[in-house]
Structure 1
Amino acid sequence: MTDLDINSLFIILIILLFLSAFFSGSETSLMSVNRYKLKHKHKEGDRSAKRVLFLVNNPDKTLGLILLLNNFVNILASAISTVIAIKLYGDSGIAISAGVLTFVILVFSEVTPKTFAALYPDKIAYPVSLFFYPALKIFYPIVSIINFFSKSLLLLFGVKDKNTAFELLTKDEIKTIIKESSYKLPKFYEEMIVNLLDLEKVKVEDTMIPRNEIISIDINNKIDQISEIILNCKHTRIPVYKDDLNTLEGFLHKRKVIEILKNGDITKEKILESLNPAYFIPEDTSLLSQLITFKKEKKRIGCVVDEYGDVKGMVTLDDILEEIVGEFNTTDKQTEIQKISEQSYLIDGSVNIREVNRMLVWKLPESNAKTINGLILEYLENIPTQGTSFQIENYHFEIINIKNNFVKNVKITKK
């Protein structure tokens, strides 16, 4: 090497510095490549994705190979720069060589290529795999020896080898990924996916139709009253019970009513014969579990019961789907939540707190109470009178209307 002229040594040094930059950038790009795009490309049969996936799934071997080559060229570059410095400046050139080469390697062979690779990992990782994939097989014996000593040292410190190429993500992490990718997804799709991920946290009692709002039929009533309820009910399925909703007989489908009318007048006997079996759901069941159960058992409606077996409300397949895609019919909600000013709303006491928070992007406390009326009673610990004002966190409440010990309307202003 000392027999080479200065020009040749400089050319070799420059080539080594470029190789060092190549290895440094390749290391960063392969470790930073988008794992999910990589898996998607691999499933589509992309050959370069197959190579990159192999390298990423074997980080110990890949890093061993890259560091082996990178250190080799860096040490060789150091030796050559020392020879050049001695030829130019004598023994004092050794210190000059060390300082200059350190700066050059840091700037041109480490920081710059690694920064570029971190910014564009996918653009670099796939092309460089053409070199490292076969190189790993060529240098496999040497890399294996390096890895053996490396793993042995790790074991001495109690560190076990573990493949973490594709760690499982939590739901919150998936939601973060979705929100960070929102510029590629329509807002509606983003909301649907996030709502679907949150479905397991929501219980059926959070979305059920309260017992006092259920339109149902007492089979012991007069047939004229029963017929009027059937004709005026806007719902497809109507609960039918005897004396009390807890003694539910089943659900009457409007389609069955048409069949009854074809064969004559509506009678109690024909109604009971046409009922679909009653279906009950524990109040703590998650919406996700219930959605799966509805699909499995081919049902669309069920009564929610508490721990004592009493009916608390009713939930339908539509209620669950609305949790995912939003309200199908917003007319009722517009009458229940009326805007007064920019931050003030007149809200019906029966409205679910979750619905208010979702529609108005508020953060009213959701504890034991499910409705606005329940929240007010829980906070005050008594039945308020008209005109009562109070504040819960950053929200000012003013009772507008009380009916039958129930807060019918309340004005809520966000501070």
Structure 2
Amino acid sequence: MESFPLWAQLSLIAFLLLLSGFFSISEASMLALNRHRLKHLIKKGVFGARTTHRLLKHTEKLLSVILIGNNLINTLIPVLTTAIALRTFGTNNLALSITTGGVAFLIIVFSEITPKIIGAAWPEKIALPASLALSPLMRITRPLVWFVNLFVSALLRILRLDTRKAKEHRLSIDELRTIVLESAHFIPHKHRSILLNLFDLENLTVDDVMVPRTRIEALDLEAPLEMLLQQLDTCYHNKLPVYQGDTDRILGVLQVRKALAARHGHTLKHETLRELLNEPYFVPSGTPVFQQLQYFQENQQRMCLIVNEYGEMLGLVTPEDIIEELIGEFTTTMPRTSGTCTDWNAKGECIVAGSMPLRELNRLLNLQLPVQGPKTLNGLILEVLREIPDGDVSLQINGCRMEVMQIDHQTVKTIKLFRPPQDSANEMNL
């Protein structure tokens, strides 16, 4: 070193600082790189993505090369700097101390903190080109890495740590949900809503999406023929359950088009309707929605009737009901109960029927009413009050204030809801 001029020695130290910074920035960017995003870049054919992916398959060797190179350089820099200080200032303790402190400061700032912050902030822009330099370096230093890893492996065996048994990290549903929520700037609101609903669908049963018994449109074969014909003319559905006297005595499912075709032939009678019935399909309460959707797909069914353990009908489910949980309601949905609304008015109020399903109410009015227990607003109010109200009652559930307006046959028939304050709604969504 003494034969080199001072400027050359300082230039060498600056180069070593940059080289150390390269190892630090490469380490930070490689570790911060999103593996799923990297696979996407490989499919797009981005330059350097495949090389980076190949290096990350051998993380332990990659880190060995980076750490060995970084530590050797960070050790060499103080040695060279001390030699320069001794030749320039002699054995002056103050000068040596200042030189040592200055070199340590330069290493920390230019070779450690700054490169790692930059690498973690822009991993893709740095890791992909850096991999092109690290790949040949790994091949060149393979004997050195092998020698060092001999001691590392021995130490791991002494500590009884087997890295081969380390489980591969997989994202859970909650982690995926968090990723979707944090991607608000990249995924449109409607698409994000569908993805979140899809995650929820795994925990739903047919009871959560069914049309409740009180809202089912069905035909009673004991009714007069004129009434049945009028009901068929004004029907909103392609298929109707048919019962006799009691809705628990389901005879079958009628295709409305077949019934109307028979009517045009002037042959429609009670017996004709009975002959047109298809075998009803019953599903026990609590059946998972995914399982039921798979059955609809495999057997080309379009309707199932939900029954409890006593054989009593609770409601019905169609594929459209399940799809509505994902994308929202269709415009062809059957009209709602008279006197109810589906949005807040100018005063921030909304009158709804007690039979309104809670999940549907949350979706329409952007509420956060609990859906783990009762399925309808009437059931939720009765569960909270623990008694049947005998007059006007006001209560608040999850930030939503509501007022009981009408009671009929021991059930809450009509409720007025008041829009929660914006701050409360935001807190519930966190």
Alignment length (residue pairs): 415
Verify the 8 A CA contact 1:151 1:161 in the aligned structure 2.
no
- Residue 115 and residue 237 in structure 1: after superposition, are their counterparts in 2 closer, same or farther (change >3 A)? same
- Residue 73 and residue 246 in structure 1: after superposition, are their counterparts in 2 closer, same or farther (change >3 A)? same
Name the counterpart of 2:83. Answer: 83
Residue 263 (structure 1) shift: 4.5
Distance across 1 between alignment mates of 2:298 and 2:43: 30
SS at match of 1:373: helix
Name the counterpart of 2:149. Answer: 147
Amino acid across the alignment from 1:138: I
Of stretches 125-134 and 223-232 in structure 1, the one that deviates more from structure 2 is: 223-232
Name the counterpart of 1:332. Answer: 336
Distance across 1 between alignment mates of 2:113 and 2:271: 85
Verify the 8 A CA contact 1:385 1:399 in the aligned structure 2.
no
Name the counterpart of 1:33. Answer: 33
Question: Could you tell me which of 184, 200, 203 is aligned with 1:201?
Answer: 203
Q: Could you list the runs of 5+ residues in structure 1 that have no partner in the other structure? A: none
Distance across 1 between alignment mates of 2:155 and 2:274: 77
- Residue 387 and residue 61 in structure 1: after superposition, are their counterparts in 2 closer, same or farther (change >3 A)? same
Name the counterpart of 1:43. Answer: 43
Amino acid across the alignment from 1:365: P
Distance across 1 between alignment mates of 2:242 and 2:283: 17
Does residue 362 of the first structure (1) align with residue 364 of the second (2)? no
Distance across 2 between alignment mates of 1:388 and 1:204: 32
- The correspondence of residues 59-70 of structure 1 with structure 2, limited to 5 A, is 59-70=59-70
Once the two structures are superposed, residues 337-368 of structure 1 have per-residue CA deviations (whole angstroms, 9 ceiling, x without a partner) of 46355543322111112222233232223343
Name the counterpart of 2:184. Answer: 182
Name the counterpart of 2:161. Answer: 159
SS at match of 1:335: coil
Amino acid across the alignment from 1:15: F
Verify the 8 A CA contact 1:338 1:346 in the aligned structure 2.
no
Distance across 2 between alignment mates of 1:289 and 1:252: 25
Distance across 2 between alignment mates of 1:145 and 1:186: 52
- The correspondence of residues 13-412 of structure 1 with structure 2, limited to 5 A, is 13-46=13-46, 48-91=48-91, 92=93, 93-162=95-164, 167-261=169-263, 263-329=265-331, 332=336, 335-337=340-342, 339=344, 342-392=347-397, 394-412=399-417
Distance across 2 between alignment mates of 1:18 and 1:24: 10
Once the two structures are superposed, residues 269-322 of structure 1 have per-residue CA deviations (whole angstroms, 9 ceiling, x without a partner) of 433333332112222122222222211221121111112332110111111111
- Residue 153 and residue 341 in structure 1: after superposition, are their counterparts in 2 closer, same or farther (change >3 A)? farther
Distance across 2 between alignment mates of 1:94 and 1:22: 27
Of stretches 393-402 and 134-143 in structure 1, the one that deviates more from structure 2 is: 393-402
Verify the 8 A CA contact 2:239 2:256 in the aligned structure 1.
yes
Distance across 1 between alignment mates of 2:171 and 2:399: 34
Once the two structures are superposed, residues 185-224 of structure 1 have per-residue CA deviations (whole angstroms, 9 ceiling, x without a partner) of 1111110111111111222111211112211123344433
Residue 173 (structure 1) shift: 1.0
Once the two structures are superposed, residues 236-286 of structure 1 have per-residue CA deviations (whole angstroms, 9 ceiling, x without a partner) of 110123343333232112232244245542133433333332112222122
Name the counterpart of 1:4. Answer: 4
Amino acid across the alignment from 1:161: T
Of stretches 157-166 and 290-299 in structure 1, the one that deviates more from structure 2 is: 157-166
Verify the 8 A CA contact 1:16 1:77 in the aligned structure 2.
yes
Residue 21 (structure 1) shift: 0.7
Verify the 8 A CA contact 1:387 1:400 in the aligned structure 2.
yes
Verify the 8 A CA contact 1:57 1:163 in the aligned structure 2.
no
Q: Could you list the runs of 5+ residues in structure 2 that have no partner in the other structure? A: 422-430
Amino acid across the alignment from 1:411: K
Residue 59 (structure 1) shift: 1.3
Distance across 2 between alignment mates of 1:25 and 1:134: 18
Distance across 1 between alignment mates of 2:117 and 2:130: 16
Question: TM (normalized to structure 1)?
Answer: 0.92
Residue 397 (structure 1) shift: 3.2
- Residue 141 and residue 253 in structure 1: after superposition, are their counterparts in 2 closer, same or farther (change >3 A)? farther
Residue 82 (structure 1) shift: 1.4
Distance across 1 between alignment mates of 2:81 and 2:280: 87
Verify the 8 A CA contact 1:287 1:320 in the aligned structure 2.
yes
SS at match of 1:233: coil
Residue 165 (structure 1) shift: 9.8
Distance across 2 between alignment mates of 1:386 and 1:286: 38
